[in-house]
Structure 1
Amino acid sequence: MSPFLSRLLLCWVLSTTGVSAETLALPTRLIDLSSDQGEALLLETKPLDAYLPISVAFETQKTQAYCGVASIVMTLNALKTPAPSSPPYQPYAVFTQDNVLDQRTEAVLPRDVLARQGMTLDQLGGLLALHPLLVEVHHAVSGGLDTFRKTAGDYLSTRGHVVIVNYLRKSLDQERGGHISPLAAYDAKADRFLILDVARYKYPPVWVTASDLFDAMNTIDSDNDGKTRGYVLVANGAGAQR
């Protein structure tokens, strides 16, 4: 993709986010995607195969507990997973944060629990596994920084792949608890991943170093039996071969 087209796409994505709130100040170690430095990182990142579909499917979480739900909806729509009908959009079928939850999801994560405490990494993987996708859940403690960097970096180089991260915000000097959002790109030169933060009323999409992100994932989640947070690899049938 040419620099001009990349810039055009970036402008389009940022102009159609649907949120124009005054977000919180970013820590100096994080780079705002819409800043000159953030844009430059995107323009030098190659390939952008994973970035294009997930950025077009960008969602804002509808409640403060729905970061995982918004991330799932983005993933399902980006991978063109067969969707249910949605009354507001009939006759078109699309996943939304309202119709993605049903009787099947209740068995994995009851809605009252979701509303109270959000979702864990394993629940995220379990909900995605209800769909015809290849899903791999990776707790940070089971690997290391180098494994994460290579695995997630390679995954983001192929269309039909999505990487979702579960991390502790305060480890990145953000406000404040556990959070879930998709990754959209990896810039090897800067060794930074791009997080499409679904809490767009709070923080913009940011570039974070691989080591900082891994440290934020390598934290204990008391709601998940004391396991560490981590990341989920998701692929559709066409993107399953690596």
Structure 2
Amino acid sequence: MRPLLTGLFLLSTVLPAAAETLPMPEGLVALNSAPGEALLMQSEANADYFDLAIHFTNQVHPAFCGPASIAMVLNALEVPRPASDMTLGLGLFDQENVFTPATEAVKPRAVIERAGLTLDELAGMFQAHSVSAEAVHAEDSALDDFRQTAIDSIEDGESFLLVNYLRSAIGQEKGGHISPLAAYDEDTDSFLILDVTRYKYPPVWVGAAALFDAMNTPDSDNDGRSRGYLVVSRQ
């Protein structure tokens, strides 16, 4: 297990106080709490936490959980970055320059602002940036398969896994959501979601079974196909 102090400090600088977010549902554990930090310290798989934490970002639009997650993961993958006024010309991906003519062909930004992204559209957006993105609908998978795939991705140093799930299924306030996974704790069989809507919820630990069930829900914007997970890596 890698040292955690640097990663904990980095993420703590961007997390709001717990009182500023919505009440934490029963069964979830906030990262910015003593139990949440303890889970990270004891977690068996946490390599992706470090690469994601330094690029942790908050979505700037209610429907931009997908674009925010895309920016985080592209930066963590060290994909060559264009200049952007939003990041002071430092060459980082952000929620402006993730949109390109190629992504517009997948789903126009104006439509994403109204309807967000489905799992397959999220994969298409990544592929438009010339990275590999494999979408797995929960209805075509199983809990054990998801768990192992997620653990392998978190630890392999080459890929990142994003989840597309229904918030209300884990007790949070409504709607579909997208965010990356950053760690796994075997003792509690739980994953750390680096939630990109930190003005609503901090990153949270959620049980693997509960998370899988939240992904195995129909997405009305995708002809009723289930939500699921996405493994992204450099080609």
The normalised TM-score by structure 1 is 0.92
Q: Does 1:50 align with 2:48?
A: yes
Q: Figure out how many residues of one structure are paired with residues of the other and give that number.
A: 234
CA contact (8 A) 2:7 2:53 kept: no
**Post-superposition shift, 1:87?**
3.1
2:14 aligned residue: 16
Unaligned runs of 5+ in 2: none
CA contact (8 A) 1:85 1:94 kept: yes
Unaligned runs of 5+ in 1: 238-242
CA RMSD of aligned residues (A): 1.6
The correspondence for 1:230, drawn from 213, 228, 235, is 228
**Post-superposition shift, 1:16?**
3.2
**Post-superposition shift, 1:7?**
3.4
Q: Distance in 2 between matches of 1:215 and 1:47?
A: 21
After superposition, give the CA deviation of every residue in 1:20-60 in whole Å (9 maximum; x if it has no partner): 57100011100001111111110011343211101111010
Q: Distance in 1 between matches of 2:176 and 2:86?
A: 32
CA contact (8 A) 2:57 2:68 kept: yes
CA contact (8 A) 1:170 1:176 kept: yes
Identity %: 48
CA contact (8 A) 1:23 1:203 kept: yes
User: What aligned pairs does 1:32-47 form with structure 2 within 5 A after superposition?
Assistant: 32-47=30-45
**Post-superposition shift, 1:233?**
0.2
Residue 201 of structure 2 aligns with an amino acid whose one-letter code is Y
Q: Report runs of 4+ in structure 1 exceeding 6 Å deviation.
A: none
Q: Does 1:61 align with 2:59?
A: yes
Q: Does 1:139 align with 2:151?
A: no
Q: Distance in 2 between matches of 1:203 and 1:180?
A: 13
1:168 aligned residue: 166
2:94 aligned residue: 96
After superposition, give the CA deviation of every residue in 1:60-97 in whole Å (9 maximum; x if it has no partner): 00011000000000000010001111135455311110
1:217 aligned residue: 215
Q: Distance in 2 between matches of 1:235 and 1:53?
A: 13
Q: Distance in 2 between matches of 1:84 and 1:105?
A: 15
Q: Distance in 2 between matches of 1:92 and 1:9?
A: 21
- Please give the secondary structure, in 1, of the residue aligned with 2:8: helix
